[in-house]
Structure 1
Amino acid sequence: MELIYRFENYLKETLAIDSKSKILLAVSGGKDSMLMSSLFLQLGYDCVIAHCNFMLRGEASELDEELVLGFAKKHGVPCFVKRFDTTVYAENCGISIQMAARDLRYAWFEELRIREDADWIAIGQHRDDHIETMLLNLTRGTGLQGLQGILPKRGHVIRPLLFLAANEIAEVASNKNIIYRDDQSNFSTKYARNKIRLEIIPKFRELAPNFDEIATENISHFQETYQLLQSFIEPIRSTIFFEENGLIRIDRLLLNKHIDHTALLFELFKPYGFSKQVLEDLQKSWGGESGRLFQSLNFELLLDRNNLWLRPLDVHHEDSFWTLVENSDTFEFGNKHFEQRIDTDVGLKIMNGSAQIDYDKLIFPLVLRFWKEGDYFFPLGMSGRKKLSDFFIQNKVNLYEKKNVPILINGNGDIIWVVNYRLDNRYRITESTKKVFTLVCK
């Protein structure tokens, strides 16, 4: 069957892409993405082209950009080019150049997809990339999930050439006189992926001439097995993990019956990137004191009395603040909605999530911020001064909750209100109060 029909069939049958979809083509200038773009245009899809210039290869990077711009102009397709200072980004983030380039391009592709109202981002990866990814993940210890290789469709990203081998693409590109440029860094074995492509896979092919077909079939089995596993894991996770106020609460009592099953525990926490070693530390700490913290690359887990609390790292910066002026109305801070008003009705009104404050004692602007070590106030209904840290312990407020409690500060530095917990006794309304400042937190 001619390639164009195989390509069209893969779009419809495997990827379920409608012929009226708008496609953002990620085009590097290599043979894979140039062939993919030609096929989409031949089928009459509405397309835009995106090209990343990572400024890593000097003149070669400029020539790649020039080639893509020329191709887009020839076919009358809108083309967008983004230049990245990839080296600086990698150094600032402490990651490899390859990982930096990946992060930068996918973030920009999604931004551009939304801006251009495209339905899909098409990436020109092929079957050989698929196999290489599986083998590379095998060396990284990513488990069954990593052995799935490259998924044909994930979110808004599609890989419409996964059914094609690299040698087929090279042959078609030659026969159709498709102009492209080779990235010379693809031939350097200093990169792990290239080493697998140029040295490891050829050895497998010596052992089994049909290695590519065998590997592809095994990857398919891995994908099916992983999907089957998730069909068991998801119902368990949904009965134990609960979203609450931007955090995920994990019921310790419900998790207790699974805590000794390391493999199951690993799968339950897999979406949050916790390693097996970290989860084994959690198991060892299970019967100990609360307050232990466990971290993955992007998440933090708190072992509390009755629950585990899971949150993304850097939910908010501890130095975040909001300035309140007298004529403010409504605003947002710390994932909470606030409303404020001033009135002369000095009658005490008990309402959840609100504080009534003696207006004449306020020094504007007021400030909302989060708890800091050393904070203290004079809690309403209690005698004397108390450290906020002690107040939180007495009220069984865990570490995560404590870090997310907004604190209302007067212009003189006094704490006025520990939001949704306790008003400071010095700022309560009294018989001599003439005006009331009311702040409501929802």
Structure 2
Amino acid sequence: MDDTLSDLQSLSSAGAGLCLSVERFLLQDLRIQRGARFVMGVSGGADSTSLAVVMRILMQRNAFELSALTVNHRLRRDSAQDAESVLAFCKRLNIDCALRETDAADFAAQNRLGLEEAGRTMRYAFFEQERCAQKADFIALGHHTGDLTEDVLLRLIRGTGWPALGGMPAYDGARRLVRPLLFSKPAALKALLRECGVAWREDASNASLRFRRNRLRHTVLPLLRKENPALDRTVAGLWRLAQRDRDFWDTHLANALAVHPWQETSNGLILPKELLRVLHPAARLRLYHKCVRRLGTGQARAETLLALDAAWVENRGNTRFQLPGALEAKLAGGAVCFKSPSVM
């Protein structure tokens, strides 16, 4: 294995600075402990390849234990080649890598999901299975500052409320996800790969305007960055404000749930009327969102959650609301019941 893939001292000042900033983010901001075990999601693209390189460089000095998982969704002719490339790359890093294969298009058709949502749902399920199999502490993903900006814009379009509008979390305790590169610039990550002599695969579908994310990336975001060249830094500041608000609401809801717990069923959650009655409307909205995040895979629209709360206030029994991931919310006897179908 190349020294540059295991030795911080052999890197340029820019490369070493990037790795050290990721280390500080993990240890100080996310409070990840040295000696933690990670399963990394590696697709072969620049982002996840950068994740693997940075984490490998930081591994020895932090006693991290690393493994990887790559998923072949069989959506492109060269997807098998991508998977083989990842396996060879991880072997170069001396990191064990598992391969899972699935038919994302078939899963999407069976569950009436878009291809992106179907692929994401299956991928995250595989990540969690692998995390459990490896007895790892966390699933590490390669999202960076550009992804965060895209995510905020996507959430704005969907009508996501605050503080979720601030973007994807860097640490998701419920799903054991961490995003070590969330404040790393994509250009800096690619520069590190070039310095280390590491190639990456280009996914041709990333250029297709068929997908909303790509349309935003290639048409809308260049215009926004022209208006504000520091857009990613601005969004990062918004993200930090959102984390403060999220921490406040999480604490507030935890205290309320300690007094009036929700009821867990085999496929859902029930919010009792005693709990809902003592909460401010803003707190109820965040509680609904918490249920969606616990049971589903998507982001609930603010409009839908507002309508759900209005129905509860008006005591409209047997009213149903459809939420992301085929999740359903139903009003019954003053309670709000969330039901999640088994899709895997």
TM-score range, shorter chain: 0.7 to 0.9
Matches within 5 A, 1:249-288: 250-251=272-273, 255-256=276-277, 262-273=281-292, 275-285=305-315
Deviations 1:111-144 (A, max 9, x none): 1111111222111111111111111001001101
* Conserved? CA contact 1:53–1:81, under 8 Å: yes
Q: Shift of residue 110 of structure 1? A: 0.7
Q: Among residues 21, 28, 51, which one is paired with 2:36 in the alignment?
A: 21
Q: Among residues 229, 233, 251, which one is paired with 1:213 in the alignment?
A: 233
| % identity of equivalent residues | 26
Q: Which residue of structure 1 lines up, in the alignment, with residue 90 of structure 2?
A: 72
Amino acid at match of 1:163: F
Q: Which residue of structure 1 lines up, in the alignment, with residue 49 of structure 2?
A: 34
Name whichever of 28-37 and 270-279 sits farther off. 270-279
Q: Distance in 2 between matches of 1:18 and 1:238?
A: 28
Q: Distance in 1 between matches of 2:57 and 2:341?
A: 46
Q: Shift of residue 240 of structure 1? A: 4.5
Q: Among residues 145, 149, 155, which one is paired with 1:127 in the alignment?
A: 145
Q: Shift of residue 37 of structure 1? A: 0.9
Q: Among residues 255, 258, 270, which one is paired with 1:248 in the alignment?
A: 270
Matches within 5 A, 1:82-93: 82-93=100-111
Aligned residues: 305
* Conserved? CA contact 1:300–1:313, under 8 Å: no
Q: Among residues 65, 68, 84, which one is paired with 1:49 in the alignment?
A: 68
Structure 1 residues 255 and 70: alpha-carbon distance in aligned structure 2, compared to 1, 3 A threshold = closer
* Conserved? CA contact 1:26–1:51, under 8 Å: yes
Q: Distance in 1 between matches of 2:265 and 2:223?
A: 53
Deviations 1:51-105 (A, max 9, x none): 00011011x2122112111112223322210111100000000000000111111
Could you say which structure has the larger radius of gyration?
1
* Conserved? CA contact 2:249–2:283, under 8 Å: no
Deviations 1:328-387 (A, max 9, x none): xxxxxxxxxxxxxxxxxxxxxxxxxxxxxxxxxxxxxxxxxxxxxxxxxxxxxxxxxxxx
Q: Distance in 1 between matches of 2:233 and 2:163?
A: 20
* Conserved? CA contact 2:40–2:139, under 8 Å: yes
Matches within 5 A, 1:63-212: 63-155=81-173, 156-212=176-232
* Conserved? CA contact 1:55–1:84, under 8 Å: yes
Gaps of 5+ in 2: 1-12, 293-303
Matches within 5 A, 1:276-315: 276-285=306-315, 292-297=318-323, 298-304=327-333, 307-308=334-335, 310-313=337-340
Amino acid at match of 1:312: K
Q: Distance in 1 between matches of 2:201 and 2:271?
A: 51
**Any idea what SS the aligned residue of 2:139 has?**
strand
* Conserved? CA contact 1:240–1:251, under 8 Å: no
Amino acid at match of 1:171: A
Q: Shift of residue 40 of structure 1? A: 1.8
Structure 1 residues 64 and 294: alpha-carbon distance in aligned structure 2, compared to 1, 3 A threshold = same
TM-score by length of 1: 0.63
Structure with more contact order per residue of length (Cα contacts < 8 Å, sep ≥ 6): 2
Q: Distance in 1 between matches of 2:35 and 2:113?
A: 39
Q: Shift of residue 241 of structure 1? A: 4.7
Amino acid at match of 2:109: E
Point out the structure with the larger strand share: 1
**Any idea what SS the aligned residue of 2:99 has?**
strand
Name whichever of 295-304 and 13-22 sits farther off. 295-304
* Conserved? CA contact 2:39–2:68, under 8 Å: yes
Q: Distance in 1 between matches of 2:98 and 2:340?
A: 33
**Any idea what SS the aligned residue of 1:292 has?**
coil
Structure 1 residues 24 and 265: alpha-carbon distance in aligned structure 2, compared to 1, 3 A threshold = closer
Structure 1 residues 310 and 214: alpha-carbon distance in aligned structure 2, compared to 1, 3 A threshold = same
Gaps of 5+ in 1: 316-442
Q: Shift of residue 244 of structure 1? A: 7.4
Q: Shift of residue 186 of structure 1? A: 1.2
**Any idea what SS the aligned residue of 1:24 has?**
strand
TM-score by length of 2: 0.80
**Any idea what SS the aligned residue of 2:162 has?**
helix
Q: Among residues 21, 24, 27, which one is paired with 1:9 in the alignment?
A: 24
Structure 1 residues 36 and 314: alpha-carbon distance in aligned structure 2, compared to 1, 3 A threshold = closer
Structure 1 residues 262 and 245: alpha-carbon distance in aligned structure 2, compared to 1, 3 A threshold = closer
What is the root-mean-square deviation in Å for CA atoms of aligned residues?
2.5
* Conserved? CA contact 1:282–1:294, under 8 Å: no
Structure 1 residues 116 and 295: alpha-carbon distance in aligned structure 2, compared to 1, 3 A threshold = same
Q: Distance in 2 between matches of 1:169 and 1:264?
A: 39
